[in-house]
Structure 1
């Protein structure tokens, strides 16, 4: 993991001069470099560096600017003013008054926006907020990268209804943020057949003890609070002292480290909604790889604000004299080649825009598409229900936007690009990123390689098979790959055909077959031994003597999981029953979370209290069910999945997919590719059973049984058809 240290307070104060990184020619991305350096793109930033609403990740913004600088021939400089210190109006006046700044990112809250918007947009400058969600009068110079609160209200009450809530008491902040919720909540509640038993507006001077007593008289099942973190803490404590049994459900403002720090264990069980980056972009994975933790609530939207600023500046170069608002409107209406969020894609998109092309841009949070009114935010936006569990925010299945389809950038950013100077790597996933398993682990390795080496990457999924078949069979490459990595048994026939037709392209395949070709290397990760240990642990921890497994489909790649789990449990305690259920009959079963959740409920009704999840993206449905019932322990697959539910996921059968992808790229860069077959097992740490931190007490039994698991796996491999 490449973990970057956070900015010190001194760094934050002197942030204006922090990023001024030497540039490289855009020719590395296949374009013609300019011969004279252009002026830096200076972007103002008005966001808090500390405090309850500091949920934007300035560290992420710093990394983004630096990484983009390394991709192109324009230097980005962020001129930062900390709104948690000093007068925000004075900061806004200063930045808006500078001739070298046309775009300002910020502010954080609706109240601040009302104060500074006239100061910035009144001077003809663009203002892009990543986190202001309240209603604002339309202004062509004000944009936001987060959806407005009316959409959060709709998502929130839909989530509450789906979890069985029928009566709520509403508390809103006495501020523009809370006023929006107060206005839209009645209709959203009625549409979802939820009754609002009472409503109150609060500020710092409110008597929270009296409010808690009044709520007790109303007897709601849940208290919904659209307030800032400080008020959320006071509400939680007041409800607790009043002996209230109602659950506390917060809005996105409550999704703050401040809540966890101030309440500690008292925060356990608090729920809420929050914006969630489109899982298919992979931004959350990249952020975790960089900083060792999940991104804060508005980190993706802050990144996207930077993208819009950079793209608008590029458009201004291509169309001098065009109004700023018109340039930004042009940027978000692209209908050309799709470009993603990461620095490589962003650098290519900016170069295309400067050259007059019109790419369809996607941000870290999802597609950057806007309606007629810019102040309404992007058309698409994900929300998720979170729960404080084990001292952390744990997200459930994201609620996707209407019409939101998974998508990845195209194979080549420019059909006429020709050959570039950097190696080209194509990564082909079984499905779009966001499965929290197989595809996500591969992307983690790919991103780690991007941070370590210089190469051009392209991403596709199984849905792109027709296009890939055509490209590889006809060899009509606009940008020929040096290395192709295909992931999953679904690609076996296609990978063989592609490798045979293109002997000068190297292929690394994951869990497919040994093709006997010098340009193909297949890596098989055998999870039998790790699953054997999972069976041992499940048999050790079960209270009912009945454990189970839910698999995506009865396909060969699942066999070592099921056999290892079943035989490990039998070896530990022959009296333990094991039940196996399949979500589907083919690859579709790995992307059906609702069906998997229903199977989990059925297993629990049969007495199963420990479930091995081997269903890919369907696993999140199992987690949702386990959280609802509260009495099912889970074992994850492929990666450490304890973050999904720290109190419920006891362990994970881990395949080192990320390490394999990283090594494949490293071998390509270093010229050390070797064809053939690699078999990775428990014995050589290619697979392992990772025991979740909260269940360390059970790590001893896993360690005691490891040698027996290795021996059992050796016997399995003698007859297994790999």
Structure 2
């Protein structure tokens, strides 16, 4: 009899769990750029999809078309019955905090900022850790010692990218110079690729051969500039700047690259951000030839969103406040794949892994500002 009752209780529990999962809804309010931005928004969407595929339920989304619309869909997602509402990007934080206060039975999350309220969580990242690794790689690989950083907006989260990148460059190459520029003075700076391309062009004119952009969709402007100017020529370098290395001489080039970069020239590179953008530097659609995406700093928004969606969907105890993601817990990474593996020799890769371990272990203290 006891065994039968126990079996019934297990069955009831399973049925209740299935019913809860089936009725669970997560609402995603994106930032500018939408779900298919190949960056921040897309990472959040992919993480939510992965969690829902495991626990059951559905996803509702809101995509703003203009800066003024950012955050306006959060209240609507809550009213539609979303159990968990995720605002992607700091621009959604005010709306998340306000809506959470009037919907105490639901849970709310801001990606990249810390909202207020006992039913809220902030998913934040130690971007400076991954940016340090990217900076170290750029410092080792630059042919001119001139490196660039383009931020979408001069705010703390973007300055964590900048601080870590600058520190990594200096750790690898004390003599290297990092030029910094911001796309705009409001959040439109994350959605203005034309201006980012102009900034990148100006940096290249000053001898910068590797540029890292933490600027959302504006970063595509940098990629377009690298595509338009895949190399720097010795004759075009400004006074006081010269080539000091030729690290990629043995990497096969496409016919187009060979023609555009004939003579005394060195390739230019972008460093991607948020998702793996290495493949966007494969301009000739052949991974075997030189790629112009040196690497990408992966901000694993997908892992962070996956973890919080699964936690709420499974009914685990709620823990409000800050959640921090970095190199040590799968929140930050550096992308090495078929597109850029030829750009990073095996010995350099091993040194990079050593640097990463030193950062994780605390031997190297990476500045956040």
Q: So what's the TM-score if we normalise by structure 2?
A: 0.74
CA distance in 2, matches of 1:541, 1:561: 19
1:703 is displaced (CA, Å) by: 1.4
Matched ranges for 1:102-141 at <5 A: none
Shift of 1:514: 5.1
Question: Partner of 1:576 in structure 2?
Answer: 176
Say which of 662, 674, 694 aligns to 2:319.
674
Within 5 Å, give how 1:162-561 maps onto structure 2: 422-431=23-32, 432-462=34-64, 464-465=69-70, 467-468=72-73, 471=76, 477=79, 479-513=80-114, 515=116, 517-561=117-161
Partner of 1:509: helix, strand, or coil? strand
Give the conservation status (yes or no) of the 8 Å contact 2:87–2:109.
yes
Distance 1:621 1:437 in 2: 14
1:521 and 1:657, CA in 2 relative to 1: closer, same or farther beyond 3 A?
A: same
- Which among 280, 297, 309 is matched to residue 644 of structure 1? 280
Rg (Cα) greater in structure: 1
- Asked if the contact 2:71/2:95 (under 8 Å) is kept, the reply is no
Counterpart Cα distance in 2 of 1:471 and 1:627:
41
Q: Secondary structure at the match of 2:319?
A: coil
Distance 1:469 1:460, change over 3 A: closer
Inter-CA distance 714–573: structure 2 relative to 1 (3 Å threshold): closer
Counterpart CA distance in 2 for 1:665 and 1:452 is 10
Aligned partners of 2:163 and 2:367 also within 8 Å: no
Question: 1:98 maps to what in 2?
Answer: none
CA contact (8 A) 1:650 1:694 kept: no
Task: Give the SS at the match of 1:458.
Answer: strand
Structure 2 Cα separation of the partners of residues 578 and 548 of structure 1: 5
Partner of 1:716: 367
Unaligned runs of at least 5 residues, structure 1: 1-419
Instruction: Choose 683-692 or 528-537, whichever is displaced more.
Output: 683-692
CA displacement 1:295-353 (0-9 Å, x = unmatched): xxxxxxxxxxxxxxxxxxxxxxxxxxxxxxxxxxxxxxxxxxxxxxxxxxxxxxxxxxx
Label 1:713 to 1:705 Cα distance change in 2 as closer, same or farther (>3 A). closer
1:118 corresponds in structure 2 to none
| DSSP 3-state at the match of 1:553 | coil
> Aligned pair 1:706/2:356, yes or no?
yes
1:594–1:436 Cα change, 3 Å: same
Query: For residues 467 and 529 of structure 1, do their structure 2 counterparts lie closer, same or farther at Cα, with a shift above 3 Å needed?
Result: closer
Change (3 A) 1:427 1:702: same
Deviations 1:355-403 (A, max 9, x none): xxxxxxxxxxxxxxxxxxxxxxxxxxxxxxxxxxxxxxxxxxxxxxxxx
Specify the SS of the correspondent of 1:607. Answer: coil
Q: Contact (CA 8 Å) 1:568, 1:709: kept in 2 or not?
A: no
Map of 1:617 onto structure 2: 217
Matched residue SS, 1:671: coil
CA–CA distance in structure 2, aligned partners of residues 470 and 532 of structure 1: 38
Alignment of 1:655-670 (within 5 A): 655-670=299-314
Q: CA deviation at 1:451?
A: 3.0
Compared CA separation, residues 443 and 468, structure 1 to 2 (3 A):
closer
Structure 1 partner of 2:229: 629
Structure 2 counterpart of 1:694, from 342, 353, 358: 342
List per-residue Cα deviations over 1:426-467 (Å, max 9, x = no partner): 001112123221111112212323433321211013554574
**Structure 2, unaligned runs of 5 or more:** 1-20, 232-267, 283-290
Aligned CA-pair RMSD: 2.2
Count how many residue pairs are aligned between Structure 1 and Structure 2: 294
Contact 2:72 2:95 in 1 (8 A): no
**Native 8 Å contact 1:434 1:617 kept in 2:** no
1: CA distance between counterparts of 2:86 and 2:149?
29
Is 1:606 aligned to residue 206 of structure 2? yes
Q: Shift of the alpha carbon at 1:607?
A: 0.2
Give the 3 Å change call, closer, same or farther, for CA 466–435 of structure 1 in structure 2: closer
Secondary structure of the corresponding residue to residue 367 of structure 2: helix
TM-score w.r.t. length of structure 1: 0.39
Change in CA separation of 1:505 and 1:588 when aligned onto 2, cut-off 3 Å = same
| Deviation per residue, 1:514-571 (Å, 9 max, x gap) | 52x3311111111111111111100100001101111111121101110011111112
Equivalent residue of 1:507, what SS?
Answer: strand
Matched, 1:654 2:301: no
* SS of match in other structure, 2:109: strand
Please give the secondary structure, in 1, of the residue aligned with 2:335.
Answer: strand
1: CA distance, partners of 2:93 / 2:58:
25
For residue 490 of structure 1, report the CA deviation from its aligned partner: 0.8
* C-alpha distance after superposition, 1:644-700 (max 9, x if no partner): 114011111111111111222211221124322111122333212223333341423
- Structure 2 distance, partners of 1:583, 1:509, is 24
